[in-house]
A and B are shown apart, each in its own frame.
Chain A
Amino acid sequence: MAIYIDEKTRVMVQGITGNQGSFHARQMLAYGTRIVAGVSPGKGGQEVEGGPVFDTAEAAAVQERPDASILFVPAAFALDGALEALHAGMKVVVVITEGIPVHDAMTMIATARQKGAVVVGPNTFGLVSSGKCKIGIMPNQIYTPGPVGVVARSGTLSYEIVANLQEAGYGTSTVVGLGGDRAVGLNFIDVLPELEADPETELIVMVGEIGGTAEEEAAKYIEAHVSKPVIAYLAGKSAPPGKRMGHAGAIIERGRGTFQAKVEALSAAGVEVAELPFQVPELARKILA
């Protein structure tokens, strides 16, 4: 059992005829993802990588019955694309696009909630159930099946940690990218219960960063509900307050979201906090030995 997606998940790619869309569709197919349809308004009837392209998500849904969608759609049109996917019945909608207005993000997330679906992102690298299904833009070669469930706010940093774990001999069960924006569909506290319940996951690794209170909320949840061991690495220890560190959500504002507060909250909840990324596999070895 994997969480959110598995080898049976039928995936639709919105914006499949664009540069990013076609490149990543190819990469996902190479990983083994079942891409059943592409959507690109005005390009219906074409084929990309041997798969059919439709003008609308509804047309794709009727013909190919996808369950999940990934969006490569410019920020100004992403809300419409995400609502279109949700309306067409997708249960998982992965929004890669960066720079989406936060009001648009709130609307897509609230709509998903009403429909019993989840939005992953915006500004996420996606998610992968290792060896089964990848819906995202991350490098294929680092995700081999194993006992570690990873949930991360940052893309490249999670690649670093997943690759370090792989090198140390630990594969991953599911890796979920929450996204770097202020309002994202999944927070740590949404993914933690799934990893706790997932029989393939023996150890949970959180990759967090400064800004917001998602890590503090996760700490409270872990203390009360998580029995599996948890390791956390947090980026931004040296970041100055008041400056947005790349991600819209990575900012220390009004004294909130500091590194120190997050480390204290997580440590108090029994989470092993790594000071540097390469310490994550060392801690994993201690725990899984």
Chain B
Amino acid sequence: MIKSQVLTGKRGKAGGIAFVDDPRSAQQEARRLLGMEISGFPVEHLLVESKIRIDKELYLAVTLDGGQRCPLILASLEGGMDIEEVPEAQIVKYPVDVTLGLRPFMAREICRRLGLQGETAKAFSDLLFKLYRLFQEMDAELVEITPLVISGDGLLAADAKVTIDEDALFRHKSLPRVEERTDLEKKAHDLGLAYVELGGDIAVMANGAGMAMATLDMLHHYGGKPANFLDAGGGAGVEQTARALELLLATGPKVIMINIFGGITRCDDVAKAFATVKEAKDLTIPVVFRLVGTNEAAGLEILRGIGIQAYRTMQETAQKAVELSRQSSA
């Protein structure tokens, strides 16, 4: 068997796995696989292994249960397909109390629910402990083996996936990093800003993730097309706000909409940052501002000084931004 090694799932369905019987076809298939892309990832590595005898395919994963706020073991005798397609009744879900960790009695119970016995149950428990340890020690969000193959008395992991919590990478500096973000998104991340490219023509800056999302929703509601999601962060100072604004300008928008409800973010800081960037960049594209909350009066004063009249409500601001984006496209 020749398997493409890519950082995405569903490679079998995409034709990324080949079965071959002789060296010549192995060469042919390897060449084909190395030329292909799977979900945007070019195939650069292959795994060659002997075809195994498959008596049964299982599914086994340790993941996070946000609702229960604890690790969750997922296991099923129906492996080898998408776990999403397996009926709920055939999946064993076992939440683990993190203060206890995985204990032998828990493994026995999981085996019982699965109907595993004898040597297979023993091999399964051994593996489960190793997976749980990996999950815990490496700060994983998901450790998944599918299919987990029963072959004779033994178990074999035929494919696996591990994802690590980004917030815990400071504890795992030796792990290689895979970049999934665009250059701008990466630049924003390095500045400590949450940024997502959306491809429209109204650049948006707001403070707080929920507020930023609500701003995009409102622009959509009035028929506008946001260029990005940008959470300038709670409590960002002048310098960081100025960097955020420069980032927005780099996308070449038709209009900029700034929506600030100052809690820990101070309105005068945002206004100061904007005035600095406006002067430095000789800004010509229209900017619609909404600035309320902490130090609002001082912020509005600064904006008036550079000829900008801010709006009071989010809806007025969004409507104006959409109107301007239409004008400048005409």
Contact = CB atoms under 8 A, between A and B. Distances in A.
Interface of A: 20, 23-24, 75-76, 99-107, 109-111, 114, 125, 137-139, 152-160, 163, 180, 182-185, 187, 207, 209-210, 212-214, 217, 233, 235-240, 243-250, 254-255, 275-278
A154 B98 contact: no
A67 to B, nearest CB: 23
Given A102-B165, A107-B99, A246-B231, A139 B262 contact: yes
Contacts of B154: none
Interface of B: 64, 66-67, 69-71, 84, 97-99, 136, 139, 141, 165, 167-168, 170-171, 194, 196, 198, 206-214, 216-221, 226, 229, 231, 234-235, 261-264, 292-294, 313-315
Chain A interface SS verdict (over half)? loop
B262 to A, nearest CB: 7
Contacts of A217: 67
B214 A125 contact: no
A204 B167 CA distance: 33
A279 to B, nearest CB: 10
A239 B167 contact: no
Chain B interface SS verdict (over half)? mixed
Interchain residue pairs A-B with the least CB separation, the first 4: A154-B210, A246-B209, A156-B208, A157-B210
A257 to B, nearest CB: 10
B206 A156 contact: yes
Contacts of A247: 209-210
Contact of A213 (B67, B139, B167): B67
B160 to A, nearest CB: 17
Contact of B263 (A139, A209, A237, A278): A139
Given A137-B264, A160-B314, A184-B69, A277 B168 contact: no
Given A106-B69, A183-B64, A276-B315, A209 B217 contact: no
Given A159-B293, A275-B221, A248 B69 contact: no
Contact of B212 (A159, A246, A254, A278): A246
A138 B263 CA distance: 6
Contacts of A101: 139, 165, 167-168, 171
A136 B194 CA distance: 22
A157 B208 contact: yes
Contacts of B314: 160, 277-278
Contact of A103 (B67, B139, B213, B292): B139
